[in-house]
Each structure stands twice: as C-alpha cells, then as structure tokens.
Amino acid sequence: MSNLQQSASKEPLTEREKAVHVLTRFSFGYGPDDVNNVMKVGAESWLRGQMRDTPASGSSLGQRLKDMQTLFLTPAEVRDLVDTSERVRDLAPAAQKERKQLERVPRNEILAAVLYRSIYSPHQTKEVACDFWRNHFNVSFTKGQQSFPLIPHYEQTVVRDHVFGDFGTMLRASAKHPAMLQYLDNHLSRRPPTDQELAQVERRTQRKTGSKDRAEEAAQIAAQRGLNENYARELMELHTLGVDNYYRQKDVVAVAEALTGWTFSGGRNGDFEFQFQPAMHVKGDKRVLGKRIKEDKTGGAGQGDDILTLLIQHKGTADFIATKMVRYFVADEPPKKLVQAVAKTYKKSGGGIPAMFLTIIESDEFWKRENFRAKFKTPWEFLLSALRITEADVADPRRLFSLMQSMGQPLYHCDDPTGWYETADRWLDPGVMALRWQFAIDLASGRFRGVEIPDSFWKRIPTDGVHPRLWQHHLTKLILPAGAGERTRAALSSVTSKYLKREKDPVFSELGPDLLALLLGSPEFQQQ
C-alpha cells in the first residue's frame, strides 16, 4: 500500500459517507431522500428512531398487506381455509389443480409480505433485523407441505414479535414453535421403544392385517423410532454456542434426551401448538456442559426450559451472537475489540437486541474507513437496494422470486440449517454476477416483468437546458451518493460520449436507462 493510500484509509468518513454507511448496514439500501434525512438528524438518532417499533405507515405497504388472505391467520386457520379433509388424488382433475394452488397461497403470501416490507417499510432497521434473525433461526419450506401453514406464523410470532426484544425470549419462542420442531425433526424425537412396546405393535398389526410378515415389518419400523439429535445439535452449534464450542457429543445426546417429548398438535383437528408428551420423554436427570439438569415434578417438561436458560446465560452464547452480529453489520472479519464490546453488552442487557445494535453504531470500529463499503451485498440485499433507490413498483413479485432462485438465495428455502452465508466469498460467483448485471439492465430499461420504475423517479433529475454530462452527474450522485470510483466514472462517460456522437438532440429517456444499468451494476453499488 502506498503512503497516499495509507493516509486515505485513515481519513474519517465525511458526514455524507456516514449517512450512506449506516443506511447500507441498517436498512436495505437508501431511497432517494434517505441520505439527506439521516444527515439532518445524525446516524445514531436515526437508528434510535428506527428501533421504536411503531406500526408501518404508508398506504402502499398497508394496502399490499391488507389484500393478503392468510398472512395473519394461525396455522390451524390456514389448514381449515385450505381444507385438506379430502385427499387430492380423490378429487376431479380441475379440483386437484385448484386445491394445489390454494395450498401454495400461505407460502406465496409470506414471501410477498417479506419482500414488500423490505422494500416499502419506513422502519428499515426492523426489516434488516428480521432478516438477520430469520437467517439465524432458519426454517425452510423445503421441509414439505406441512411447513406451508407453519412458517407464516413463525415469521410473525418468533421473528417479528421479538426482533427488538431480547435474544433469550426469541430463542424460547423458536424452540417451541411447530415450524422449528418440524424443520429439525424434534417433534419425532422420543425415547427408544421397549421390547414390550414393540411386541404390542407386532400383535396389534397382526390382528389388524392378518399378516405375520407385515406385523414384523411394523415392529422393525417402530424399533427405528427414537432419539433424534438434529435440533439439539443445531441448538448449540448454530443458535447459541457456535460450532464445537464448549460442548461435546455427550452434551448433544443429553440435550436431545431432555428435549424428547417436545412436539406439537397437528393433523386434521390439531391446533398446531406446542405440546409436551411425557410418554415420549427420556426420564431422569441430564448432565449438560458440566451442569446437572434435574427432572422436575412435571415428568421432564421443564428440563428443556432449564437447558435453554443455561445456554442463554452461557459466555459462549454471548460471544457467538456478538461475532455474528459484528460480521453481519460491520465486516466479514469481525474486529475483536467490537465483538468483545457487544458480548459485554449482551451479558449486561440480558441479550437485549437494541442495546447490542447501539453498541455497534456507537463504536469507533463501525465508523473506520476500512469498514466503509467493506461488505458485499448478497443477492437478496442487491435486489432490494436496487428496487428501493429506483422507487420501483413491484406489481407482481413472482419473477423476482424466480430470480432469487437462480441466484442461489430463495427466500425461506434454505435447506441448510446454517442459513445463508453473509461473507463476500460465498457470493462472488461469475454466474451470479452475470444475473445481477442482467437484472440491472432489465430493471433500468423497463423489461423486467412485474416491476416498473415510475416516471417520478426520472423526474427527480431536471432535463430542461441540462447538458447530458451534467445529467449524468446528477444521476450518479442519486444512485451513488458517496461517490463513484474512477473506473465507474470512465464507463459512464464513455456511454454518454457515444450517445452524444450519434444524437444531436439528446433524449434522456434513451440515455437514462443505459447509465442507470451501469450504476446499479457498478462495484460501488454492489458494496455496502
């Protein structure tokens, strides 16, 4: 690094850069007026205002959500709406098609709701925080059709209801929600059946079928039912302590045993609520992380809660959550000093999420120039930021969801319990970059079906008596308020020069889309 570069890297951020910085980290990208608004009130005041969890205003978002049929229903109400009393295969072909379409409504509506809130909500920090915790406590529609009525309720009651609360409360809500219990198979986890129970299964099946072979097969299947370690492992590895931190395999087994019986009511008449089934529970005290977890008078119902308390209060959890937060909001390589500060805040505030956010934004590390534009947008963040800065009207989100699938980040469809990775190396793929550039071209030119940039966006830049190069400057400042790099400026200038050579009378409606596509596809816009 040259002396000039070293000097530049130590220069403090300008007020405009600070506004851009906080907006790119604590929102899904700035709108045309947001940078100036943050500069007026200051970054910290803006963030504090964002964390006042007030109802979203604005007719655009409110109307979009109001028109949804299943968004605020309970899973049981969704099931009743879909009406699964008749098997699909027993219906006429036309009725089969209608039924399958209806079954997909809850899934499609929650995807659309998350998208619309992320674009149009004035409470952007809430939506970014929801994205962080949604990814941390990942569940997925890939688990099967039963997840369709569960995940919309999970989004509201686990993520959104607790996003500005404390970590422990959110963890408990996630642990007992049917969506998580189903996703990580804990609703099936139980003590292994005894020989007597297997014999009963065999006798019962033989009486019912008259077949000894089928009876033996049923007993063999029943024998395979037993302890499932999936949720116990992910609870420690992904939700609290981190990979291979503090715990061993024996701890995983003990936690899994403590959580046996944690299931939910379902089926045609069930209410899809958490249940504890004593008959499924492994009896006796458990030893987890060196602590004895006693079996209480409830028959083991409280053991799981005691383990959650142990994990919530554990030093490893504070460190792990702090590291994830700093990596998400500051840098792919989290500054150790800031991680320690956020972990300290976790302990002092009882896992308070707003307090940890404020610790980040009040730190010197957050505002260092080396962390400005140091993150690379995920496909989801890129799409949202492009839609927000252009004030795009999303009339039909289906093609956006298809594009997210092609980019490798379909919403609520991450089959890996780890969730989506946030570091740049996971998303710097040539094929995905090509899709980003094509989206920028299609959006700017009006060729992306279901999405339109309104005329009001283009009218933000005056045209009367304005030279194309000055118009180019104003558009650049709007899309990249913190400035464009040398290569980006050269590319923009080249496009404008070619245009001026072939057009004597400039038509900005023709030049504008080409310049806008370049700006949305620029390295500066891909960074945050």
- Do both 302 and 381 map to the same domain? no
- Do both 387 and 525 map to the same domain? yes
Distance CA(219)–CA(213), nearest Å, equals 10
- Do both 515 and 391 map to the same domain? yes
Pair 266, 291: CB distance under 8 Å: no
Q: Name, in order, each residue with C-beta under 8 angstroms of 356's C-beta and a sequence gap of 6 or more.
A: 321, 322, 325, 342, 345, 346, 349
264 bridge partner residues: 274
Q: Tokens for 103?
A: 């079954």
- Do both 381 and 491 map to the same domain? yes
Domain span at 492 = 376-528
Strand locations in 356-440 (E): 393-394
Domain assignment of residue 403, yes or no = yes
Query: Given this model, what pLDDT does residue 216 score?
Result: 64
Q: Name, in order, each residue with C-beta under 8 angstroms of 382's C-beta and a sequence gap of 6 or more.
A: 436, 526
Q: Tokens for 91?
A: 């219906």
Domain assignment of residue 255, yes or no = yes
- Do both 381 and 526 map to the same domain? yes
Distance CA(151)–CA(182), nearest Å, equals 11
Q: Tokens for 173?
A: 């809500």
- Do both 511 and 400 map to the same domain? yes
Q: Tokens for 192?
A: 């292994």
Choose the final residue of a domain: 288, 312, 336.
312
Domain assignment of residue 308, yes or no = yes
Pair 354, 415: CB distance under 8 Å: no
Distance CA(253)–CA(250), nearest Å, equals 5
Query: Given this model, what pLDDT does residue 57 score?
Result: 52
- Do both 401 and 483 map to the same domain? yes
Pair 122, 58: CB distance under 8 Å: yes
- What digits encode the pLDDT tens for the residues 225-237? 678 999 999 999 9
Q: What percent of the chain has pLDDT over 70?
A: 91
- Do both 407 and 490 map to the same domain? yes
Query: Given this model, what pLDDT does residue 195 score?
Result: 60
Give the pLDDT band (50/70/90) at residue 175: very high
Q: Name, in order, each residue with C-beta under 8 angstroms of 286's C-beta and a sequence gap of 6 or more.
A: 254, 255, 257, 258, 292, 293, 295, 303, 307
Cβ burial, residue 99 (10 Å; 0-12/13-18/19+): middle
Q: Give the containing element (helix H, strand E) for 440.
A: helix 430-445
Distance CA(341)–CA(140), nearest Å, equals 33
363, HSE (Cβ side, Cα atoms, 13 Å): 24
pLDDT surpasses 60 at 413:
yes
Among 207-211, 280-284, 310-314, 316-320, where is mean pLDDT lowest?
Answer: 207-211
Distance CA(412)–CA(21), nearest Å, equals 27
Torsion of CA 222, 223, 227, 228, to 10 degrees: -60
Highest mean pLDDT, choosing among 272-276, 326-330, 422-426, 507-511: 326-330
- Per DSSP, helices labelled H in 368-429 are 379-389, 398-407
Distance CA(85)–CA(80), nearest Å, equals 9
Q: Give the containing element (helix H, strand E) for 321.
A: helix 315-329
Choose the final residue of a domain: 283, 312, 341.
312
Span 501-518, mean pLDDT? 82
Domain assignment of residue 436, yes or no = yes
Amino acid identity, residue 175? A
- Do both 438 and 523 map to the same domain? yes
Check the CA dihedral 240-246-248-250 and report its sign.
Answer: negative
Query: Given this model, what pLDDT does residue 194 score?
Result: 60
pLDDT surpasses 70 at 4:
no
More confident residue, 53 or 293: 293
Question: What is the crossing angle of helices 379-389 and 398-407, to 10°?
Answer: 140
Domain assignment of residue 11, yes or no = no
pLDDT surpasses 50 at 184:
yes
Domain assignment of residue 251, yes or no = yes
Question: What is the crossing angle of helices 105-120 and 379-389, to 10°?
Answer: 60
Pair 341, 335: CB distance under 8 Å: no
Q: Name, in order, each residue with C-beta under 8 angstroms of 347's C-beta and a sequence gap of 6 or more.
A: 315, 318
User: CB 516: neighbour CB atoms within 10 A?
Assistant: 25
Average of per-residue pLDDT values in the chain:
89
Report the b/e string of 206-216 with b at 16+ CB within 10 A: beeeeeeeebe
Quote the number of domains for the chain: 2
DSSP, residue by residue, 280-298: GS--S-EEETTEEE---TT
- Do both 381 and 524 map to the same domain? yes
Reduced to 3 states, what is the DSSP secondary structure of residue 87?
coil
Domain assignment of residue 300, yes or no = yes
Distance CA(34)–CA(45), nearest Å, equals 14
Query: Given this model, what pLDDT does residue 349 score?
Result: 98
- Do both 425 and 515 map to the same domain? yes
- What digits encode the pLDDT tens for the residues 24-36? 999 999 999 999 9
Query: Given this model, what pLDDT does residue 7 score?
Result: 43
Check the CA dihedral 326-331-334-337 and report its sign.
Answer: negative
Give the pLDDT band (50/70/90) at residue 296: confident
Cβ burial, residue 255 (10 Å; 0-12/13-18/19+): buried
Pair 484, 476: CB distance under 8 Å: yes
Decide the pairing of beta strands 274-276 and 262-264: antiparallel
Choose the final residue of a domain: 279, 312, 345.
312
Cβ burial, residue 372 (10 Å; 0-12/13-18/19+): buried
Domain assignment of residue 78, yes or no = no
Distance CA(498)–CA(503), nearest Å, equals 9
- Do both 395 and 509 map to the same domain? yes
Predicted TM-score (pTM) of the model is 0.91
Distance CA(53)–CA(48), nearest Å, equals 10
